[in-house]
Amino acid sequence: MEKLHTKRMHSGFTLIELLVTIAVLGILLSVAVPSYQDFVLNSRMSSKSNDVLSALQIARSEAVKRNARVSVCKSSGSACVTSGSWAQGWMVFVDGGVAGTMDGTDEAIQVFPALTGTSTLAADANVGDFISYLPTGMPNLAVGSTATLTLCPGVTGINGREIEIVAAGRANITPTTACP
């Protein structure tokens, strides 16, 4: 009687196949990880600049709606501050007293938290500590002038964002390479 030889099938990978797969995976990761980090940083820049723009749009619309001056100031919680930078946070409030100061019966509308990480938010002289919107929706800027807030990521290779406010009251965001 003849013995039948059955061929056994082995499933799995050989050592060489496994090493080739790991090498290809390593090459793909070395290309993908830096791109992903740039994507995350750019997303953070967009998100934070949209927060600043949102504060400005809220202030403008509330000024018109309430027929009162509404300001956005740099803040460290529930009060406006004149020291430090806009990166410590900002707030929108109905500004019935001294312009740019949370006093008396002023009402906070929204408080935005401090920036995280190495991001910075700097302002030009036209919006050093605060910007106010009048009941007409116009900011406290001279005719023909602009105010600019510059948001920088704090790392090289990623563009910052400039939030520009024109004398007519509109604000917009543009990428900038003016970050240190």
The gap between the terminal CA atoms of the chain, to the nearest Å, is 87
Residue 1 lies in a domain: no
pTM of the model: 0.80
Provide the domain limits for residue 138.
15-176
Q: Which of 35-39, 48-52, 100-104, 122-126 has the lowest mean pLDDT?
A: 35-39
Res 65 pLDDT > 90: yes
Domain count, the chain: 1
On whether the CB atoms of residues 80 and 129 are closer than 8 A, the answer is yes
Res 14 pLDDT > 80: yes
Residue 2 lies in a domain: no
Residue 6 lies in a domain: no
Res 69 pLDDT > 90: yes
Listed residue (52, 54, 66) closest to 134, CA to CA: 66
135: DSSP letter = T
Q: What are phi and psi of 76, to 5 degrees?
A: -115, 35
Confidence of residue 7 (pLDDT cuts 50, 70, 90): low
* Pairwise CA distance, residues 123 & 47, whole Å: 18
Q: What is the CATH number of the domain that holds 153?
A: 3.55.40.10
Residue 54 lies in a domain: yes
Residues paired with residue 112 on neighbouring β-strands, in sequence order: 90
Residue 9 lies in a domain: no
Residue 136 lies in a domain: yes
Res 3 pLDDT > 80: no
What's the pLDDT score for residue 1?
A: 53
What's the pLDDT score for residue 90?
A: 94
Per-residue pLDDT tens digits for 77-112: 778 888 888 999 999 999 988 888 888 888 999 999
On whether the CB atoms of residues 167 and 145 are closer than 8 A, the answer is yes
Task: Indicate the residue type of 167.
Answer: A
Residue 33 lies in a domain: yes
Residue 127 lies in a domain: yes
